[in-house]
Structure 1
Amino acid sequence: MSAYDAFTTVLARKEGHVLTVSLNRPAQRNAINGEVHAGLREILALAAEDADVRAIVLRGEGKAFCAGGDVGTMVGAEEGGATSPALGVLSTLDATRMIDMLLAVRQPIVCALQGFAMGLGATIALLCDVVVMAEDAVIADTHVNIGLVAGDGGAVLWPLLESFAAAKWHLMTGERVNGLDAVRLGLALKAVPAAELDDEAQRLAARLAQIAPLAVQGTKATLNRVIRDRIHLLLETGLLLEGATMVSEDHHEAATAFLGKRPAVFTGR
């Protein structure tokens, strides 16, 4: 039994020089909770010590790549239903750890994005080195739609990949971008029919795995300095403002409305 076989909410299998990592909460559209975060961290730590792994494919089981942070954990259990301030702070810290974790992976990561990637799910996808999407898949940073400032990875990554004007619109509205438009805007490298997505991601990963690994890894580390510099510029302010909206009435209303499957009514408080 391989060490990669010991996980449940995140699955991993190695074939040749390619490690395929799958988020595995399909009933929850692969929303990120503590178990997924821990499993992904441990698998990537194993990969870091595995010289046989030269490329990684990151995908989601079921109909979606990743729905983002688990909204079910965002509604506080305090009397009166107020959102917990501590939970808000922990949520922003988790997003920061996820960014650091994915940037630290030395092997190139190919994201195979099916269905949708929302909020933190979009950030995870865009932190990958290559994004290939199903033509009918959608990606969006939906922080504002649940009453939160898009202050974490979205504020860093979207303006780096598409025009600043387009990034402002997408981050301030949470508007969804399909696979074909994502390629046009620079958010993804390729868009393919959904039935071809996994094969295309594996093909791209296999091509990366055939190139001199030290050269590929060093090139990735060099280019990721651009992202790290942007993080130093933006993240502290963004997370401070996002943390403030975590404890707002509008965020609690958005999370409650989402779970109740009704439109949210915002008051600006």
Structure 2
Amino acid sequence: MRQGPAGEEAMVLEAYERFQFRRDGRVLTVAIAAPGAVNAVDARLHAELATLFTDLQHDSHSDLIILTGEGKAFCAGGDYAWFEEQIRNPKSFRAIAYEARRIVTSLLDLEKPIICRLNGPAAGLGATIALLCDIIIADERAVIGDPHVKVGLVAGDGGAIIWPQLIGFARAKEYLLTGDLLTASEAARIGLINHAVPAAELDSKVAEVAAKVLGNPRWAVRWTKTVANQPLKALAAQMMDSSLAHELLSNMAADRAEAVRAMREKRAPRLTGE
């Protein structure tokens, strides 16, 4: 999207099928609205995430983005039907590597401040997107984690980049290697997110922080963020190709297929080490 009349920019945003947009002055709320109860990532949502943040950068009618989820979840990881298609046809997994890279790099490139309103569970790619936002404010009942390993995948879509930067390597590797989920309150305590508040206070806390950010000069805010993100952008450039290559390899392992079957059948996986 290029800067232009409000009608043209609205048409670009209206083309998105997996997001809903609400404006309040210079604040644009972007809500993940995928089919199903947990806003799981399917092929369409993945493709739209790869262009969303570039389009938000060029939206001339907003200065701050609030990213949240419709319903009771933020984004609870990948859709199992999509996983099974990737297992049956590894070429389909290979084909989305460019999108996966762009999701991370375009989110880090976004100059506008972006607040994550973490209204419910965030897992896998959903957690990565939440944690790559500038400020994360959660409903204290929400949970967050990166359970890629539980479905037989390398945490290659950005989790291995951002978790260690927020909570250190020892804690990050424990959560990435176990796939365990944290409560929002625990995540705030260890510094993974900024705030965990009661559900009734979530919107007021988001509005409070947004007002503080918007009360400062626009370009001072945007370019301070730009400078602060430079180390993360360097890490993404250094790590994403290798991360995605290893994730692609893990998608072709026998234990990957068994892990997904076990999840769908709600049983313990029968792993072979292959």
What is the CA deviation profile of residues 14-49 of structure 1, one whole-angstrom value per residue up to 9, with x for unaligned ones? Answer: 111100000012624111223224444555444322
Q: How large is the Cα RMSD of the aligned pairs?
A: 2.0
User: How far apart are the structure 2 equivalents of 1:137 and 1:26?
Assistant: 20
What is the CA deviation profile of residues 111-168 of structure 1, one whole-angstrom value per residue up to 9, with x for unaligned ones? Answer: 0112210000010001101101111211101110001112330100000000210011
Partner of 1:10: 19
How does 1:216-227 map onto structure 2 within 5 Å? 216-227=221-232
In structure 1, what residue type is equivalent to 2:146?
D
1:17/1:206 contact within 8 Å kept:
no
User: How far apart are the structure 1 equivalents of 2:52 and 2:162?
Assistant: 24
- Which of 19, 31, 44 is the equivalent residue of 1:35? 44
Give the match's secondary structure for 1:52. coil
User: How far apart are the structure 2 equivalents of 1:18 and 1:262?
Assistant: 44
Give the match's secondary structure for 2:20. strand
Q: Structure 1 45/152 Cα, relative in aligned 2: closer, same or farther at 3 Å? A: closer
User: How far apart are the structure 1 equivalents of 2:121 and 2:215?
Assistant: 30
- Which of 61, 66, 86 is the equivalent residue of 1:57? 66
What is the CA deviation profile of residues 58-99 of structure 1, one whole-angstrom value per residue up to 9, with x for unaligned ones? Answer: 00011110012222211138xxxx532212323444322211
The answer on 1:200 being equivalent to 2:205 is yes
In structure 2, what residue type is equivalent to 1:186?
G
1:96/1:152 contact within 8 Å kept:
yes
- Which of 63, 71, 74 is the equivalent residue of 2:80? 71
Give the match's secondary structure for 1:21. strand
2:43/2:82 contact within 8 Å kept:
no
- Which of 225, 231, 234 is the equivalent residue of 2:236? 231
User: How far apart are the structure 2 equivalents of 1:57 and 1:140?
Assistant: 20
Q: Structure 1 152/230 Cα, relative in aligned 2: closer, same or farther at 3 Å? A: same
Partner of 2:32: 23
User: How far apart are the structure 2 equivalents of 1:259 and 1:5?
Assistant: 33
Partner of 1:185: 190
Q: What is the Cα deviation at residue 11 of structure 1?
A: 0.4
- Which of 141, 147, 166 is the equivalent residue of 1:161? 166
- Which of 141, 145, 152 is the equivalent residue of 1:136? 141
In structure 2, what residue type is equivalent to 1:259?
R
User: How far apart are the structure 2 equivalents of 1:16 and 1:130?
Assistant: 20
User: How far apart are the structure 2 equivalents of 1:125 and 1:10?
Assistant: 15
Partner of 1:98: 103
User: How far apart are the structure 1 equivalents of 2:127 and 2:252?
Assistant: 23
Unpaired runs of 5+ in structure 1? none
1:12/1:20 contact within 8 Å kept:
yes
User: How far apart are the structure 2 equivalents of 1:196 and 1:173?
Assistant: 31
In structure 1, what residue type is equivalent to 2:40?
A
User: How far apart are the structure 2 equivalents of 1:203 and 1:43?
Assistant: 25
Give the match's secondary structure for 2:40. coil
Partner of 2:56: 47
Q: Structure 1 217/167 Cα, relative in aligned 2: closer, same or farther at 3 Å? A: same
Give the match's secondary structure for 1:27. coil
Give the match's secondary structure for 1:124. helix
2:51/2:103 contact within 8 Å kept:
no
1:54/1:213 contact within 8 Å kept:
yes
